[in-house]
Structures are given as C-alpha cells and as structure tokens.
Amino acid sequence: MINKVITDLDAVIKQIPDGATLMLGGFGLCGIPEHSITALLKSGVKNLTCISNNAGVDDFGIGLLLKTRQVKKMISSYVGENEEFERQLLSGELEVELLPQGTLAERIRAGGAGIPAFFTPAGVGTEVANGKEVREFDGKLYLMERWLKADFALVKAWKADTAGNLIYQGTARNFNPMMATAGKVTIVEVEEIVPAGTLDPNQIHTSGIYVDYLYKGSNYEKRIEQRTVKK
C-alpha cells in the first residue's frame, strides 16, 4: 500500500496556488484543520475561495485568514461568530455565498459522488433561488443546486493508518468525510497514525483512496466558541 504520511505539512500547503478553491472541514471550531490553517497563513497564499460551514472566530480558524486578507470569497452556512467577516461583508471587501446548511452539505456530497446537480425545496422563494432553475415535482417547487468541488480539501480526522484510511471522533466528524471526497487533492491531519491493516475495516469512515497527504499533528487547541459554565 502507498504510504501517505508526510512530515513537512508546510511544504505540501505551499503547493496551493493563489486563487485556489479550498474546502475546510469543521463545524464551528470543532474538527477544523488547525495546523493546515496555520500553514496557509505562513504560505501567504491569497485570493482563496473557501468552502466551509463557517468562518471561524476572529482569532482562530478561518478567521485568521480573513484578518490577513487571504480569502477572496466564502461559501458558507453560518458566519455569526466573526466580527471581521461581518465588517468585510458589509464593506464589500469579501464575496459571500450563504447557503442553507443542508444544501451546503448535499452540494459537497454531490461533488464527491460525481452528481452535477440535484433538486431541493430549501431556498425556494428566497434570495437563495436567484438565478437558479426552479422545477415542479408532484405539485411542489424545487430548486436546482449544483455540486461543489475544490482544488484542495483540508480535512481533520482523529485516527488514520499509513494508507490514509480515516476514523473521525464524535461530532468532529461533521463536514470532514464529504469534503475528503470532493477535493482534487485531499490533505488530512490526524492525532494518531497506526500501521496499515491495524484499523478495523468496519470502523473506517473515509477510505484511503480519497487521501493524498496525511500529517500527524499535535498540541491541538480544540477551542470552544462559547463556553458556558456553572457559577
């Protein structure tokens, strides 16, 4: 089996050119590719189109890339925790395509599955439908949405073998598995790597065939967006 493990993440991230389209896994700050985002900051790549459920917060996640003006466009579902995102949106500095969360998820899944378009009731009669085909099925209107694909998918998993087979942990799975299938090049960071053949095949969430590069990260912050504790 091909060994997908790399030791120099920065060198791989430097392959990403200006103007590339990226998918970045995560939901809020849960399951985000922290080290890949840091490597993007260091690389200085710019004019990125980022497909992600959200834009992180001002000082963590994709929010860091917004501060350095490396992001040209965001395709997202929820962006309410980032003041810099809001400022750039209102000032016209950032292109934004907001989607219903289920539509975002299905468009990414369709991209990985090779399905160029599908119909959904979500967004019919709203601004989301502007410029898109609407068709009636069984007396109900549906909106045509096209697949989403990316030049690079940056994914965070929990455990992997050297062949790139991945296991995610809990809710940190979120958008990561579908993004892993929808990128031309998929770069994955994990917390633990074991020899190929060690993982139970029944527990594998993403097949190694989708993975191009595998990096073992450490010292993950795993921040919480809004921490609530008892007094």
Per-residue HEC secondary structure of the chain comes to CCCCEECCHHHHHCCCCCCCEEEECCECCECCCHHHHHHHHHHCCCCEEEECCCCCECCECHHHHHHCCCEEEEEECCCCCCHHHHHHHHCCCCEEEECCHHHHHHHHHHHHHCCCEEEECCCCCCHHHCCCCEEEECCEEEEEEECCCEEEEEEECCEEECCCCEECCHHHCCCHHHHHHHEEEEEEEECEEECCCCCCHHHCCECHHHCCEEEECCCCCCCCCCCCCCC
Q: Is residue 1 part of a domain?
A: no
Instruction: Record the pTM.
Output: 0.94
| Residue 111 is assigned to a structural domain of this protein | yes
Q: Is residue 184 part of a domain?
A: yes
Mean pLDDT within 75-95 = 90
pLDDT at 217 over 80: yes
In a domain, 228, yes or no: no
Percentage of the chain beyond pLDDT 70 is 100
Percent of the chain clearing pLDDT 90 (strictly above): 90
- For residue 115, is pLDDT > 80? yes
> At 106, which CATH number?
3.40.1080.10
Which pLDDT score is estimated for 171?
94
Q: What is the pLDDT of residue 227?
A: 81
Q: Quick one: pLDDT band at residue 78, thresholds 50, 70, 90?
A: confident
Domain membership of residue 223 (yes or no) is no
Domain span at residue 13 reads 6-119+131-216
Domain membership flag for residue 88: yes
Residue 66 lies in a domain: yes
Residue 207 lies in a domain: yes
Q: What is the pLDDT of residues 124-173, one digit of tens each?
A: 999 999 999 999 999 999 999 999 999 999 999 999 999 999 999 999 99
For 30-34, 86-90, 191-195, which range has the lowest pLDDT when averaged over its residues? 86-90
Q: What total of structural domains would you count in the chain? A: 1
